[in-house]
Amino acid sequence: MPGLDFSFSGLKTFAANTIRDNGDDDQTRADIAYAFQEAVVDTLVIKCRRALKQCGMKRLVIAGGVSANRALRQGLESLMEKLGGQVYYPRTEFCTDNGAMIAYAGMQRLKNGESVGLAELKATRAGLSIS
């Protein structure tokens, strides 16, 4: 869908350069981290609002490690309240890095005798698939 792609690479570079140019003390780092979080949350809220409107949906599910972020939860709850919708996310103890879930799924498949050679895997924009 148009208008939903985004990247934080420019923001990360800006944050690194700001730290380099403004000192390395704890307060400066904390201020930059706070501003970085605000910018990321604002972007994600905007993109979620746009996606919900384009799809005509009133429910939003957020998962993975990012779903534990309190500022993001607050921003999305505020958005969904304004839109008359609902946001769903797991309890924080279940908000883990997706990499751990993928590794666990792979371990379970291997334990069940399932395996594929690297030549059979194909990387796509959506992830890995088996040819």
- Per-residue pLDDT of the chain in tens (131 residues, 90 and over written 9): 677 887 888 888 888 888 889 877 888 889 988 999 999 999 999 999 999 999 999 999 998 888 999 999 999 999 999 999 999 998 888 887 777 777 888 889 889 998 776 666 665 555 555 55
- Could you tell me how many helices (H) and strands (E) the chain has, helices first? 4, 4
What pTM did the predictor assign? 0.70
User: How many angstroms from the chain centroid is the CA of residue 32?
Assistant: 19
Do 59 and 92 form a contact (C-beta atoms < 8 A)?
Answer: no
DSSP per residue, 81-99: HHHT-EEE---GGG---HH
